[in-house]
Amino acid sequence: MLKRFGLCLTVLGYVTLARGPLMALLHPGAEGATHDGHGMAMPMPAEPSDPWNAAVLGALAVAGVVLAVVPIFRRGERWALWTSLAIWMILAAVRFATDPRCLLVLDPHQHGCHTFVIALISGVAGLVCLGASRRPIN
């Protein structure tokens, strides 16, 4: 049960991460497709429908989901768990270092990078659940 819950949280985190740029690519004129739109998962470049940004995040999300499903969920391999955690930590470090809006995320009355932090918390919490599900209960 904990293992399935962890898998769902991890996949949700990766999907939420890639949602913003992919939606901006598919619907360039839509509300929230610009950099100042609220809730974008990643900072948007000067051109909101930049295919490179969407492709990189889409590929990262697919790789993260495959990593979570095959080696972590099915086989329980620790290296894949640590690799996925390292991906999330690198993304968090880069995002918090380069986007000043992320410093506002602790204030619920100001808009910062709430969607990214939700994706981060969901992904890391899912990995913790997946890691905890392998430990034997004594």
Q: What is the pLDDT of residues 42-98, one digit of tens each?
A: 554 444 457 787 788 888 888 999 998 999 888 888 899 999 999 999 989 988 888
Q: In this predicted model, what pLDDT tens digit does every residue of 108-129 receive, in sequence order? A: 777 778 888 899 999 999 999 9
Joined tokens for residue 89 = 């930590």
For residues 44 and 46, give the distance between their C-alpha atoms in angstroms, rounded to a whole number. 7
* Range 13-18 average pLDDT: 90
For residues 7 and 13, give the distance between their C-alpha atoms in angstroms, rounded to a whole number. 10
